Amino acid sequence: MIRNWSASAVGAIRGTSAPVTHTLIVLCCLVFLIGPASGLHPAHGSGEELLAAQRAYFRRWGVIPADLFEGSPAAALTPATALFVHGGWVHLLGNMLFLQVFGTMAEARMGRVRFTLCYAGCGCLALLGYAAANADSERSLVGASGAISAVLGAFLFLFPRARVTSLLPFLFFLPVRLPAWVVLPFWAALQWLAAGRADDGPGVAYLAHLVGFGLGFGYAWVCFGRATTVKSAPAPAPEGENQP
């Protein structure tokens, strides 16, 4: 198998379609728009009625660690359903931006089947890992962050030198183009620090991000460890460029 990829090969990948990535984005957006979290559907009411509908919705489709390990058949399905449920507009749009930017190239390189297995399998395992660490919690966990973190991990292995545009606060949020091997481990380190300080119970699932990231990197290594990764020459930026 080819051991090194040229910049032109990466450019060719960027030009290919990514039907799984785009289907996932559409599904997540549709589920959000018709659910109570969007606040757009009149059937869910407003005010306290809407808040009650949102809480019931998250409990029904999200992962509740305390319920998950009681053996309930309905709860056993929630690691899959929670991947398509988001808690608000910022949560949804942030996840979909990351998925579009990094998922497009990752899918083109991995193929549809392997990319789907990476996204769904690692995403569910990331939620399970978080639930296991918070087994007594009754707070619901929703969102595709664990699955998208797996995509980031796979992207890091496959395209370590691809340029990613980042906004760094200590540089007054000036956009800086850095290789993925700098940006993504830095992002993972931030998740680690945030998870270590999250001692007041579940909130943002930083641990799920870390688990998903590690699983995605490991999955890509197992599948492509003897195949090609990006050549040592800097590769073009991912489509759209991201701002993690």
Catalytic residues: 145, 209
Partners of residue 168 on adjacent β-strands: 174
Rounded CA separation 219/44 (Å): 40
User: How far, CA to CA in Å, does 158 sit from each of 6, 49, 110, 167?
Assistant: 13, 47, 9, 23
Question: Would the CA dihedral through 126, 127, 130, 133 be positive or negative?
Answer: negative
Phi, psi dihedral angles at 196 (to 5 degrees):
-70, -25
User: How far, CA to CA in Å, does 243 sit from each of 13, 73, 161, 173, 214?
Assistant: 21, 39, 16, 10, 20
Listed residue (37, 27, 130, 131) closest to 75, CA to CA:
131
Partners of residue 235 on adjacent β-strands: 162
Give 175: exposed, middle or buried? Use CB within 10 Å, 0-12, 13-18, 19+. Answer: exposed
Rounded CA separation 184/85 (Å): 25
Partners of residue 201 on adjacent β-strands: none
